[in-house]
Amino acid sequence: MNSSEKAKKVKEKLDKISDEKKMDLSSDQDLSLALMNLISIEEHFIFTGSKTGKAKYYDLANEVRSIRKELLKEIVTDYEGEVWCISKHLLAGSMRLMEVGTKQLDRGNKKKANEMFNHSYSLYSLFWVVNDDSFNLKELKQGVEKGRKESDKRTESQEESLKEDKEDTFLFKLKEKVSSLVDCCRE
């Protein structure tokens, strides 16, 4: 099965999810972004506790962690393997890459910022895939690995000339579909 066929299959699964309204993705998107920030707040409290030597910051981190754990249960309903931790780290990684991107943007490094934002959204899209059992993760991994191998073989000039082709990759199609489903502006 090639990347286009895999993307079509994922699109069909996402359409089915959307039609069945299994998840309130607009509400869940808001919650997932809040979770990203809660994870970040935990990290900041822990680092502040370490920097200042004040244990009260560890206590505050623990309070935030309790809230984050409670809220994460609303989206992460499948505890197979290490899905819980994977989900948390996908959100944390997405948030951190977003922050790196905004700092790069502030420095005028638009190309680097766009790369970071793209990686951030890739992780965010994977978060949604991991948390819906209608996705075949083995199939997803194979599609991502194939795309990565193809990309690794390209030279920089080939990469530039193939920008339009990137829109046919499996991960691009996945992110495109997640974008259409996860709409925080839908009431």
User: Do 101 and 117 touch, CB atoms closer than 8 A?
Assistant: yes
- Residue with more model confidence, 162 or 34: 34
Global pTM value: 0.66
Tell whether the model's pLDDT for residue 168 goes beyond 90: no
Give the pLDDT confidence score for residue 161 in this predicted structure: 45
Which pair of tokens denotes residue 93? 């990684």
pLDDT digits over 83-103, tens only?
A: 999 999 999 999 999 999 999
Interatomic CA distance for residues 137 and 112, integer angstroms: 29
Taking the CA atoms of 161, 165, 170 and 172 in sequence, report the sign of the dihedral they define. positive
pLDDT digits over 121-147, tens only?
A: 999 988 988 887 655 556 655 665 666
Q: Tally the residues of the chain.
A: 187
Which pair of tokens denotes residue 124? 């965010």
User: Do 72 and 87 touch, CB atoms closer than 8 A?
Assistant: yes
Tell whether the model's pLDDT for residue 67 goes beyond 90: yes
- Residue with more model confidence, 62 or 170: 62
Interatomic CA distance for residues 119 and 141, integer angstroms: 16
